[in-house]
Structure 1
């Protein structure tokens, strides 16, 4: 540490943030946050004021400054501007950040872009800005301009709350972390063999009985409808859309255990707390199955403002191919009936994907050519793709043989391997325009705390976020690992329990 006369550390260069911005022009005088700094929202839009309040709430504890929010126009302070001529071409999520001696201005066409610009601003301030107590500063933001918008519209993260249940507070903590890296979809895996996690009025035992345990036999849990609404509200305030998943026709033991008529033999199996997959199936020929599916999707659609419902469809090993096709042909129109679009795991392409459906690809190096070709053919025929290759994007894969948490069926996934691929070219033969984006799933067979989630997600999640946001031209591991290393002190300040991978040149603590 420098003495009393030491020069202040240089401001973070504009191009050192994650995800890498589309365009950066550095130079000019830095802006310094001070006692008199105001956060201005010209025009006083309601969404703009909310985002300004969010920013003030982030920065007040560490700076000790009042940072009042005002709707008065002015050329000083932090200016959050919605609309105007400078926002053309930025799209629904893009922003422009201009920093100089008198002000930092973030401009965007839509509120989501303004919020993403605020996340960039956070990373341009010193890591101590994230602390919950007064720090000495100085709080400087390098001069120059960033013009930024995402490569892909879908940039997701999935949290499996079925294998182990995570509380509303734990989900909110993860949302906070996802928002920092401009993730805009939160896929919640709400049902599986080990637990059903959403209360539905039409089939109450799904939650009260089917949600009463988890892997290893713990107490489980479920979200009331108010809990689920609160998660959706909190996600929306961070510009994330919730994508709920009810996995069908396999991964359904919690439902089958809750209601005997859902079983072909009319007998409910016991609750399941192990980790095997592929043994359960809804009874495809029974009319009760489709009454159940209709009720579940109707209630879930009514609770969910987002456009998509995820119907799973993976690892249905106990369902014959003919039954699988029959089931998916009957279920996809139900999703449409309730005004939603279908997302399914990529096995959906082995049936007849509905018009407008998206297939989430989770294959990996050992996935057979026939299965890959099936997905590519569907993409050529109009099915959209979300890419989650298990040996790149699955955050529950171990980093290496010594990782104390996670699984390794898709191999070990180090930080470089997780980052070093191009979604636009990953599935050979799939049209580039078929790719909606990327998603980083986090399965929870071995994870039961927020610290566990963070250890597996960080430092890999920001890399998947960058693949979803940044232009392919910015992709460079040697550059990225330096930017990633600089996030370490920020995570320390936030109390994030990250893995200090030896692949990353972390600063000394």
Structure 2
């Protein structure tokens, strides 16, 4: 049963439902047109029960009153024959439903039209892209169709929101009379990169806690988990041949405490767990700054020959590797090589921000060599947008984190030179910013960021001079300066994570605050059922 607060939020939903977007004259449920360039998509989501509450808002959706489907104890899940990935999506869905209902829900490879069908239709649905999907609900069953398995998975994410909120519960045997309202959805993402960055360095999160965040991403169609694995306060990943990185460098965090680290097997397991949910892991080894933990472990990586002490504060910009020492580049090669070998995804993030103690030319020399190491180990360079000052290699991805368009000219120049851009503006997507002044949790260096400010911004025009086709996507970030627990983290992340999800996935014209506020209200019951902590704000 939803909490009192959830009930209040649902009342807000009913009041706000009229704000749902209806912008296109296309037939509801008709195939989407060829994808437009970012910022020019159209949407048609009429204000209908069930389908008007989806987050992120889909490209098109329509209800079919009187055609509801009933989930029954004998329901079967049918997956595309011959596709192990489609079978994996079926098992994922079955796992959710078995936990909540106690029903057996066998998964079988067949084309049967009844029950729940996950069908792959390459060719016919190629124009929906790798992640688009169609969902149709009739009295006979639920059919999710896509060109690729990722699309099936994101269709399942939509189905979760059409089921009662108890689908997210682990209590079991609650499904008597569960129905899915009749209707259809035709959907695809706006941006290819939809990310969330988790800071393990300032506050250590265990592999199990990180998997919990992967589950949060899966609910809202994110496809990237960026792991900030190293910083001044801690080194969180084991590197063969460098035992002091974890034996010494991992032994603390902001405010003190024991810190912690992952073994390489821990990392592999999280990567595999994420991949099952179509989330790609992007590892970050921050350098040449943000390196005090590495310097404590191996002082010879610094230039001054002195000793370094563990750091538990929150200041930035005071540490740097010795950029003219070959010992540094041997270290970079060892670390990057091992992380690259552990990571099946295409990107390896090398940080590159706030190296304030280095002259500009020294910074540029280091980043040139670090980029070449990443490429030599078969990965695509990703870095913070300061890489724009150091000749990004062709195809590099710059992650913009500043606020109010600062540094836009530098990023725009790099984009015109062929770099891609992921937008993570601190005054909109940094979820470690406080909701309001005077709170225990959250920082305010980028101002306070309430739910509305986190939602109301436009990626396509956020940075003057950056071409729309250079914007690869959007990322939310949770930095750990004030975080001491998963409960703290979830309070800061929810409900704002849902807004970032919609910014990254949904058509530009479908997004408006009044409509989103109502749809967001409906999510509270699902969070309550799943045991997710959240800030009770709209």
Same fold (TM over 0.5): yes
Aligned to 1:17: 54
Q: CA contact under 8 A between 2:385 and 2:400: conserved in structure 1?
A: yes
Q: Supply the distance in 2 between the matched residues of 1:468 and 1:136 (Cα, whole angstroms).
A: 33
State yes or no: 1:138 paired with 2:177: yes
Q: CA contact under 8 A between 1:392 and 1:413: conserved in structure 2?
A: yes
Q: CA contact under 8 A between 1:213 and 1:221: conserved in structure 2?
A: yes
Residue 268 of structure 1 deviates from its aligned partner by 3.0
Q: CA contact under 8 A between 1:190 and 1:196: conserved in structure 2?
A: yes
Q: CA contact under 8 A between 1:12 and 1:125: conserved in structure 2?
A: no
Aligned to 1:357: 396
Q: CA contact under 8 A between 1:80 and 1:106: conserved in structure 2?
A: yes
CA RMSD of aligned residues (A): 1.5
Number of residue pairs the alignment of both structures matches = 491
Aligned to 1:455: 491
Q: Supply the distance in 1 between the matched residues of 2:190 and 2:439 (Cα, whole angstroms).
A: 32
Name stretches of at least 5 consecutive residues in structure 1 with no aligned partner.
2-9, 505-509
Q: Supply the distance in 1 between the matched residues of 2:520 and 2:210 (Cα, whole angstroms).
A: 24
Q: How does 1:25-424 map to 2 (within 5 A)?
A: 25-28=62-65, 29-84=67-122, 86-133=124-171, 134-365=173-404, 368=406, 371-424=407-460
1:161 and 1:147, CA in 2 relative to 1: closer, same or farther beyond 3 A? same
Residue 100 of structure 1 deviates from its aligned partner by 0.5
Q: CA contact under 8 A between 2:492 and 2:535: conserved in structure 1?
A: yes
Q: CA contact under 8 A between 2:49 and 2:63: conserved in structure 1?
A: no
> 3-state SS of the aligned residue for 1:156?
strand
1:204 and 1:431, CA in 2 relative to 1: closer, same or farther beyond 3 A? same
1:84 and 1:359, CA in 2 relative to 1: closer, same or farther beyond 3 A? closer
Q: Greater shift after overlay, 340-349 or 445-454? A: 445-454
Q: Supply the distance in 2 between the matched residues of 1:85 and 1:194 (Cα, whole angstroms).
A: 50
Residue 428 of structure 1 deviates from its aligned partner by 1.5
Q: CA contact under 8 A between 2:69 and 2:140: conserved in structure 1?
A: yes
Residue 83 of structure 1 deviates from its aligned partner by 2.3
Residue 435 of structure 1 deviates from its aligned partner by 0.1
Q: How does 1:417-432 map to 2 (within 5 A)?
A: 417-432=453-468
Q: Supply the distance in 2 between the matched residues of 1:270 and 1:15 (Cα, whole angstroms).
A: 55
Residue 136 of structure 1 deviates from its aligned partner by 4.9
TM-score by length of 2: 0.89
Q: CA contact under 8 A between 1:12 and 1:124: conserved in structure 2?
A: no
Residue 359 of structure 1 deviates from its aligned partner by 0.6
Q: Supply the distance in 2 between the matched residues of 1:290 and 1:171 (Cα, whole angstroms).
A: 30
Residue 404 of structure 1 deviates from its aligned partner by 2.2
Residue 85 of structure 1 deviates from its aligned partner by 5.5
Relative contact order, higher structure (CA 8 A, sep 6+): 2
Aligned to 1:474: 510
Q: Supply the distance in 1 between the matched residues of 2:143 and 2:438 (Cα, whole angstroms).
A: 46
Q: CA contact under 8 A between 2:398 and 2:421: conserved in structure 1?
A: yes
1:276 and 1:55, CA in 2 relative to 1: closer, same or farther beyond 3 A? same
Residue 380 of structure 1 deviates from its aligned partner by 1.5
Q: Supply the distance in 2 between the matched residues of 1:268 and 1:341 (Cα, whole angstroms).
A: 34
TM-score by length of 1: 0.94
Residue 364 of structure 1 deviates from its aligned partner by 0.5
Name stretches of at least 5 consecutive residues in structure 2 with no aligned partner.
2-13, 15-47
